[in-house]
A and B are shown apart, each in its own frame.
Chain A
Amino acid sequence: NAGVTQTPKFRVLKTGQSMTLLCAQDMNHEYMYWYRQDPGMGLRLIHYSVGEGTTAKGEVPDGYNVSRLKKQNFLLGLESAAPSQTSVYFCASSSTGSAGSNEQFFGPGTRLTVL
């Protein structure tokens, strides 16, 4: 049982390049999330999904797209990377239940640098 995994762990991009971050969970969770973490800012929600085939915008969605084609995977895409997207990206998942009361399980993070 690996929990939540993220690939890659590190990536350096040049401005304008594109990339996709992959998140996978093996806990059969319905809900999945992408956050970015910046110094002194805490974690901010980018996009989330409440089930296979669904996605929704979070607090800071601009410049990112997501897809949830399979229940266990949640992809985060950057179509044209900008230096402002330099950050550490975390994926998380949670099960359904009493709304908002369930623990979110986090992956180890992806450190992205955009030059």
Chain B
Amino acid sequence: AQSVTQLGSHVSVSEGALVLLRCNYSSSVPPYLFWYVQYPNQGLQLLLKYTTGATLVKGINGFEAEFKKSETSFHLTKPSAHMSDAAEYFCAVSDRSGSEKLVFGKGTKLTVNP
């Protein structure tokens, strides 16, 4: 069965600092990979996804993630944090079996300090 591990349930950065949120997956074949963001009391919103092709994926709000097959990782980064980035971030994987199901990591709550 597939699984997703997000290292660090809480990450705190200063405004303007680099944001790095880590995600590792376990899968026998490279899956499709997603990052979602959840603002307080809201549903989840897609930040970016990797399916095929270029391994560096750019998403909304200045975020990007790099798929590294050798490391089974899909870490999320943003060069300069903004106060509005404070939210919970979820990494998810989907296999290629046709079920369209997602398996989510447990989430990382990002705090941005002024």
Taking Cβ atoms with an 8 Å cutoff, the residues of A that contact B are 4, 31, 33, 35, 40-45, 48, 50, 58, 90, 92, 94, 96, 98-104, 106-109
B104→A101 contact, CB < 8 A: no
B104→A43 contact, CB < 8 A: yes
Taking Cβ atoms with an 8 Å cutoff, the residues of B that contact A are 4, 9, 31-32, 34, 36, 41-46, 49, 51, 90, 94-107
User: In the assembled complex, which residues on chain A have CB atoms less than 8 Å from the CB atom of B49?
Assistant: 101, 103
A101→B51 contact, CB < 8 A: yes
Q: A58-B101, A100-B95, A103-B34 known; 19 other A-B pairs, CB under 8 Å?
A: A4-B43, A31-B100, A40-B9, A40-B107, A45-B102, A45-B103, A48-B99, A50-B99, A90-B43, A92-B44, A99-B96, A99-B99, A100-B98, A100-B101, A102-B100, A104-B44, A106-B45, A108-B42, A108-B43
User: In the assembled complex, which residues on chain A have CB atoms less than 8 Å from the CB atom of B4?
Assistant: 42
A104→B102 contact, CB < 8 A: yes
User: In the assembled complex, which residues on chain B have CB atoms less than 8 Å from the CB atom of A106?
Assistant: 36, 43-45
B109 CB to nearest chain A CB (Å): 10
User: In the assembled complex, which residues on chain B have CB atoms less than 8 Å from the CB atom of A40?
Assistant: 9, 106-107
B45 CB to nearest chain A CB (Å): 7
Chain A residue at smallest Cβ distance from B97: A99
Chain A residue at smallest Cβ distance from B4: A42
B105→A42 contact, CB < 8 A: yes
B94 CB to nearest chain A CB (Å): 4
A94→B106 contact, CB < 8 A: no
User: In the assembled complex, which residues on chain B have CB atoms less than 8 Å from the CB atom of A102?
Assistant: 100
Given contacts A42-B104, A42-B107, contact A100 B31 (CB under 8 A): yes
